[in-house]
Amino acid sequence: KVLDASTLSFGTRVKWFAICFVAGIVCSVLGTALLWLPNGIKLFAVFYTLGNIAALASTCFLMGPLKQLKAMFEPNRLIATIVMLVNMLSLLSFAEYGAKKGLAMLFCILQFLAMTW
């Protein structure tokens, strides 16, 4: 099953973890580089968000998506999960409507802090 990480071999899970994690880093760095282009804020928002989604997907391969979702919504992590999701959506929404780069960076910093929390 796709929803159960235990059906994949440990080697397969580690490989896909590494692939998703590296893809997440590449997307986030690429997005950050695109931010400094004229009108690059939309591309930045898309690539940075894809990078964070890929990073979240990477841990799904290690622990399984259902277990990860349960862990993300535990009472002690609920606030961090909500902050991360709100900032992810805010970054995409505000970028679509021409947000300033400083505001985009604020959403990124808050999103990063929530993910590390």
Element (H, E) at 63: helix 41-63
Q: What is the mean pLDDT of residues 47-62?
A: 91
Identify whether 2 is part of a domain.
no
Helix 10-35 crosses helix 101-116 at what angle (to 10 degrees)?
160
pLDDT at position 8 is 80
pLDDT at position 6 is 62
pLDDT at position 4 is 53
Identify whether 5 is part of a domain.
no
Tell me what the pLDDT averaged over the chain comes to. 86
Q: What is the rounded (10 degree) CA torsion for 77, 78, 80, 82?
A: 160
Name the residue range of residue 108's domain: 10-116
pLDDT at 60 over 70: yes
Identify whether 3 is part of a domain.
no
Identify whether 1 is part of a domain.
no
Identify whether 94 is part of a domain.
yes
Number of domains composing the chain: 1
Identify whether 89 is part of a domain.
yes
Q: What is the mean pLDDT of residues 95-99?
A: 76
The angle at the Cα of 89, spanning 113 to 59, to the nearest 5 degrees, equals 55
pLDDT at 23 over 90: yes
Identify whether 34 is part of a domain.
yes
